[in-house]
Structure 1
Amino acid sequence: MEKRGKQTEQSSALFTHQLVTLADLEKFKEQMLSEMRKLLAGGGAQLAKQWLKSREVRKLLDVSPGKLHAMRASRQLSFMRIGGVIYYDRADIDRMFERSKTIAVK
């Protein structure tokens, strides 16, 4: 049975002298979309980057470069500098949001 499975696998391989049909392309598209859906559904939280650059943090917090510098200087937001590039830990930003959150009263 293994031999037969290998033959099927080899016969389904694409060689340079073969043509790709529209049905082949449709099948490939469906396989790719299926794999992408699995990745997006299963790892949504994993897609978030752990380390963000200043530009990304400014966009996330909607603050100016000066305000972000002031937040670093006042130690509201921890950071790390590597080779002149400043990085911020996403978890620190999330904690800052949690500390700043107010509780709504009904």
Structure 2
Amino acid sequence: MNIDIITPEDLKFFKSELIAELKEVLQPQQPFAKTWLKSAEVRKILSISPGTLQNLRINGTLHFKKVGGTMYYKSEDLNHMLGDSPEEGGAV
């Protein structure tokens, strides 16, 4: 019969590994890893046409920045528009 002895150091090591793994699993995941998205990426994510995206810009639903001829959208604004804000418990 083989008996293994568990020491307090073994328990501390196990505890630290377990906490590290739990933090990794429970950490909120961002649906969009990039900070800024181009129009084509936003249209693909939302499955909308260029005209619909333009309407979202015009009515102020989705904020944007124009650099040169390219429009950029903050991923956090997109998350907020979709209702995934931190106040509501969603992932941002």
What's the TM-score, normalizing by structure 1?
A: 0.49
**Bigger Cα Rg:** 1
**Kindly, what percent of the aligned residue pairs are identical?**
44
Q: Which residue of 2 aligns with 1:29?
A: none
Q: Which residue of 1 aligns with 2:80?
A: 95
Query: Partner amino acid for 1:80?
Result: K
In structure 1, what is the Cα distance between the partners aligned to 2:45 and 2:35?
14
Q: Which residue of 2 aligns with 1:86?
A: 71
What's the TM-score, normalizing by structure 2?
A: 0.56
**Segments ≥4 residues shifted beyond 4 Å:** none
Select which of 56, 67, 90 maps to 2:41: 56
In structure 2, what is the Cα distance between the partners aligned to 1:80 and 1:57?
13
CA RMSD of superposed structures (Å):
2.3
The higher relative CO (CA closer than 8 Å, separation ≥ 6) is in: 2
Deviation at 1:58, TM superposition (A): 0.0
Between structures 1 and 2, the one with greater helix share: 1
> How many residues were matched structurally?
57
In structure 2, the gaps of 5 or more residues are 1-28, 85-92
Deviation at 1:93, TM superposition (A): 0.3
In structure 1, the gaps of 5 or more residues are 1-43, 100-106
